[in-house]
C-alpha cells in the first residue's frame, strides 16, 4: 500500500522512446523536424565506457566542461552546442510555448558528477539559481559510490483523472452503479487515445470514492491510466472529459470537474543508498545525522525545510529536462502527509547493521519524455541526451536519486559543520559578481569574505575597493 492508502501497481516493461525532434528557428519562427540526437555510445567492444567522474571538472573553463561532458557520455559535442545561450531557446520558439512572450529568462545549468544509479554512470544536468546545490549533490554521490551508488525502482506510470459528480440522490448506490459499468467506462476512455493503447498504455482501472465536503457529498470517479513515457496530463484530461457525461448518466448525477490529480501516488519512484560511516566521520556523526532526520519525521516545521532540500535536487533536474516542476512539487508535498494526517519528511535515514547510514526516498514522480517542452526545448533535449535515458521510468528514478543525494548532503551538513559554511562559501562568489568584481578579482574577494566571516554585499564592496586601491 502507498502512504495514501491506494494499492500500489506492478512494474511493467517500459517502451523505448521514439525519435526526438530538433528545433530550428528563424526570425520570429520556429519549426520542428524529426532529426533526433544520436544516442550515446554504450559500453562494449570498440565503445567508450560512460563515466560521471571527471577529474578537475570544476576548474575547467565552461567550453572545456562541455567537451569533457561529451567525452564522458559518448555524445557528439555538437549536441551540447545549444547550451550556449544564443543557440538555446530563442524568442521564436518561446512565443509558441506560452502567451505574450517578451523574452527568455536564463537559469544556470550545471552538471552533477559522481552519480552511479543502478550500476550506470550518470552525469546529471541541474538547472538552478541556488549556490551549493550542484556541488552538494556531487559530493553526496561521491560518498555513495563506496557502496555501489544508488539503487532505484518504480511502479507502473499510472496517472489519475477525477470526475466529480454532484446531486446524486443515493451516492452509495451511485458509486456501485459506476463500478458495475467499469468495463464500459474504461472502453470509452481508451477510445480517446488508441495510440497510447497501441503502445501498451491506457486505462488500467476505475475507482470511485465518496467525498464529504461543507457543500455536500460528492461521488468522485478516478480513471487510473498507464501513460507510458508521457507525463500524461493531456491524455487523462481528455479521457475524463469524454467519460464525464456517461458517468453522470450512470450515477444519476451532474458532472462538474473533469481533470487529473497531481497527487500521483500510483506513480511512485524510490531510491536507496548506503553512506559509509568511515567517510562521514564515524559513529558519532552517524548518530547525529539520524537524530537530525528523525526530527523532520516528527515535526512538520522541520519537515518543510527538510523536504525543500529534497526538492532542491529534484526540481533542478525536472526543470533541466523540460518537465513540469509544479506538478512534481505538488505531488511530492501531498505525499508528505502521513496516514495520521501530519506533514512529515519524505525521506528516511537510519543506521544499518554495519553502522553506516542508509538513506531511502519514495515519492510520486510524474515526469515524461514524450510531449511538452521535453521534446521541443533544445536545451531540455540536450539534457536528456546527457542523461542517456530511454524511458520516463528511468528518468524518474535518476531524479529521485538526486533528491536523496541532495537531502543527505543537507542533513549531513546540519549535523556536523552547519549549513552556512558550505553554502556561504559558494554564495560568496555570487555576491562578488553582483558587486562588480571581474572574473580575475572574484577569487580574492571570495577568500576575504570567507576569512572575515562576513559574506555580505556591503563588506564585499569594501574588500573590492581595497583590492583595487592596491593596484
Evaluated on CA atoms 82, 329, 327, 160, the torsion sign reads: positive
Contact 396, 269 (CB under 8 A): yes
Catalytic annotation on 308? Answer: yes
Give the pLDDT of residue 440: 87
Q: What angle do CA 284, 287, 293 make, to 5 degrees?
A: 140
pLDDT of residue 469: 84
Model confidence pLDDT, tens digit, residues 85-104: 989 999 999 999 999 999 99
Quick one: cell of 19? 525519435
Distance CA 160, CA 259 (A): 9
Give pLDDT tens digits for 307-324: 999 999 999 999 999 999
Q: How far apart are CA 34 and CA 65, in angstroms?
A: 28
Average pLDDT taken over every residue of the chain = 89
Give the model's confidence band at 82: pLDDT under 50 very low, under 70 low, under 90 confident, else very high: very high
Find the catalytic residue in 95, 118, 299, 308: 308
pLDDT at residue 48, as a whole number: 53
pLDDT in tens, 101-135: 999 999 999 999 999 999 999 999 999 999 899 99
C-alpha cell at 137: 549533490
Q: Is the dihedral of CA 275, 280, 284, 289 positive or negative?
A: negative
Helix, coil or strand: residue 116 = strand
Is residue 385 over pLDDT 70? yes
Beta bridge partners of 224: 160, 205
CB atoms within 10 A of CB 338: 14
C-alpha cell at 98: 506560452
pTM of the shown model? 0.84
Of the candidates 34, 20, 19, 24, the residue with the CA atom closest to the CA atom of residue 89? 24
Helix axes 300-320, 325-335, angle to 10 degrees: 150
**Which pLDDT score is estimated for 420?**
56
Q: What percent of the chain has pLDDT over 90?
A: 78
| Greater pLDDT, 199 or 422 | 199
Q: Is the dihedral of CA 330, 344, 316, 156 positive or negative?
A: negative
CB 324 within 8 A of CB 332: no
The most distant pair of C-alpha atoms in the chain lies apart, rounded to whole Å, by: 85
Catalytic residue chosen out of the listed positions 24, 95, 118, 130? 130
Q: Give the 3-state secondary structure of residue 22.
A: strand
Residue 85 grid cell: 545561450
208's enclosing H/E stretch is strand 202-213
Residue 130 falls in the annotated catalytic set: yes
Q: Which residues contact 336 (CB under 8 A, 6 or more apart)?
A: 303, 307, 343, 344, 345, 346
Residue from 226, 324, 362, 441 carrying the catalytic annotation: 324
- Could you read off the pLDDT of 26-35 as tens digits, one per residue? 333 222 222 3
The residues near 57 (Cβ < 8 Å, ≥ 6 apart) are: 65, 68, 111, 113
Amino acid at each position: 500500500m502507498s502512504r495514501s492508502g491506494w494499492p500500489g501497481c506492478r512494474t511493467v516493461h517500459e517502451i523505448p522512446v521514439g525519435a526526438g525532434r530538433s528545433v530550428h528557428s528563424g526570425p520570429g519562427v520556429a519549426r520542428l523536424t524529426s532529426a533526433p540526437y544520436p544516442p550515446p555510445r554504450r559500453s562494449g567492444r570498440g565503445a567508450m565506457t560512460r563515466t560521471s567522474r571527471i577529474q578537475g571538472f570544476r576548474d575547467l573553463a565552461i567550453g572545456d566542461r562541455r567537451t569533457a561532458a561529451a567525452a564522458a557520455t559518448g555524445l557528439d559535442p555538437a549536441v551540447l552546442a545549444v547550451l550556449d545561450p544564443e543557440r538555446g531557446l530563442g524568442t521564436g520558439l518561446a512565443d509558441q510555448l506560452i502567451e505574450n512572450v517578451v523574452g527568455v529568462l536564463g537559469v544556470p545549468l550545471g552538471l552533477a558528477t559522481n552519480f552511479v544509479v543502478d550500476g550506470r554512470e550518470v552525469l546529471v544536468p541541474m538547472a538552478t539559481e541556488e549556490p551549493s546545490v550542484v556541488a552538494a549533490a556531487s559530493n553526496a554521490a561521491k560518498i555513495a559510490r563506496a557502496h555501489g551508488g544508488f539503487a532505484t525502482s518504480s511502479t507502473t506510470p499510472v496517472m489519475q483523472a477525477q470526475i466529480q459528480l454532484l446531486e446524486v440522490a443515493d451516492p452509495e448506490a451511485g458509486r456501485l452503479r459506476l463500478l458495475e459499468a467499469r468495463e464500459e467506462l474504461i472502453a470509452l476512455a481508451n477510445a480517446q487515445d488508441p495510440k497510447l493503447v497501441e503502445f501498451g498504455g491506457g486505462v488500467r482501472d476505475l475507482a470511485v470514492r465518496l467525498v464529504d465536503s461543507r457543500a455536500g457529498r460528492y461521488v468522485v470517479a478516478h480513471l487510473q491510466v498507464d501513460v507510458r513515457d508521457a507525463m500524461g496530463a493531456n491524455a487523462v484530461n481528455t479521457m475524463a472529459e469524454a467519460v464525464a457525461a456517461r458517468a453522470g448518466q450512470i450515477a444519476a448525477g451532474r458532472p462538474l470537474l473533469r481533470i487529473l490529480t497531481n497527487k500521483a501516488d500510483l506513480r511512485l519512484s524510490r531510491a536507496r543508498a548506503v553512506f559509509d560511516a568511515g567517510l562521514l566521520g564515524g559513529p558519532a556523526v552517524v548518530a547525529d545525522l539520524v537524530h537530525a532526520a528523525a526530527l523532520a519525521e516528527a515535526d512538520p516545521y522541520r519537515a518543510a525545510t527538510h523536504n525543500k532540500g529534497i526538492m532542491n535536487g529534484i526540481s533542478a533536474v525536472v526543470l533541466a529536462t523540460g518537465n513540469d516542476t509544479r506538478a512534481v512539487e505538488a505531488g511530492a508535498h501531498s505525499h508528505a502527509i502521513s496516514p495520521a494526517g501530519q506533514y512529515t519528511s519524505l525521506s528516511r535515514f537510519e543506521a544499518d547493521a554495519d553502522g553506516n547510514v542508509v538513506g531511502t526516498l519514495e515519492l510520486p514522480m510524474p515526469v515524461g519524455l514524450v510531449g511538452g517542452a521535453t521534446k521541443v526545448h533544445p536545451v531540455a533535449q540536450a539534457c536528456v541526451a546527457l542523461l542517456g535515458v530511454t524511458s520516463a521510468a528511468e528518468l524518474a528514478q535518476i531524479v529521485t536519486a538526486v533528491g536523496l543525494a541532495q537531502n543527505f548532503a543537507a542533513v549531513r551538513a546540519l549535523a556536523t559543520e552547519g549549513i552556512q559554511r558550505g553554502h556561504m562559501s559558494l554564495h560568496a562568489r555570487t555576491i562578488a559578481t553582483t558587486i562588480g568584481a571581474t572574473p580575475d578579482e572574484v577569487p580574492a574577494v571570495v577568500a576575504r569574505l570567507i576569512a572575515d566571516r562576513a559574506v555580505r554585499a556591503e563588506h564585499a564592496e569594501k574588500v573590492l575597493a581595497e583590492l583595487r586601491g592596491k593596484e
